Structure 1
Amino acid sequence: MLKKIAGFVWALGFLGLSWAQHIDLNKATEVELDALKGVGPVLTKAVMDERKKAPFKNWEDATNRVKGLGPQKASSLSEQGVRIQGSAYTAKVADQKPAPVKN
């Protein structure tokens, strides 16, 4: 019984590690991109089309070239484990919306 419990815990740990894997935007398949929250067939096609022209150098390059991939979407994808050249998206100060002013 103890072996079964240990095996179950080990399997859950392995499953958790596989979910935590990073996806490189330059290498991701259509299926991997479509599986991401907030990514549909239109954005997937746009990413794949731009990637055929040249690999993305960084997040700024990707957000400039791919229509529909703005700072919010890039941040969301990065939180889901998407990387470009091994880097997560980091918002620039100019990309962030100012906090609302309370009167």
Structure 2
Amino acid sequence: MIRKMMVGVALVMASMGMAFAQVDVNKADAASLDGVKGLGPAKTKAILEERTKNGDFKDWADLQQRVKGIGDKAAMRLSSAGLVVNGKPMAGAPAAEMKGQPESKPAKK
């Protein structure tokens, strides 16, 4: 019984790692973009339409300039949620945190 529980826990942990896969804005379809926390159907549609009209996004600045509503704060959140442009996260964005893991807290003085 313990062996079954350990296998179950291992499977859950493995699936959690896959949930944070990177999604490249230049290669992703609508379903993949909608899976990024912070992107909904309207923003996904705007990204896909802009990409279709004017080609791939060169970098994060290009994405922000061409898609209305993606400013610095939104870009940081999207990058932290796993969105990348040409395989690169936004510079300075924190890495995506795994759900279920305790957040690190600053040490008390």
TM-score category (smaller protein): 0.7 to 0.9
Query: Is the aligned partner of 1:62 residue 2:82?
Result: no
- Equivalences for 1:1-103 in 2 at 5 Å? 1-52=1-52, 53-90=54-91
Q: CA deviation at 1:35?
A: 2.8
Q: Distance in 2 between matches of 1:57 and 1:88?
A: 13
The alpha carbon displacement at 1:87 in A equals: 1.0
Counterpart CA distance in 2 for 1:43 and 1:90 is 21
The superposition leaves residues 28-87 of structure 1 with CA deviations (integer Å, 9 ceiling, x where unpaired) of 221222233332222111100111121111101110111111111111100101111111
Q: Secondary structure at the match of 1:51?
A: helix
* Runs of 4+ with >3 A deviation: none
Q: Point out the structure with the larger helix share.
A: 1
For structure 1, the 5+ residue unaligned runs are: 92-103
Q: Percent identity?
A: 35
Give the unaligned 5+ runs of structure 2.
93-109
Q: Which residue of 1 is the match for residue 95 of structure 2?
A: none
* Cα-Cα RMSD: 1.4
Aligned residue-pair number: 91
Distance in 2 between residues matched to 1:36 and 1:83, nearest whole Å:
11
Q: Identify if the C-alpha distance between structure 1 residues 40 and 20 changes in structure 2 by more than 3 Å, giving closer, same or farther.
A: closer
* TM-score of the two chains, using structure 2 as the length reference: 0.75
Q: Is the partner of 1:48 in helix, strand or coil?
A: helix
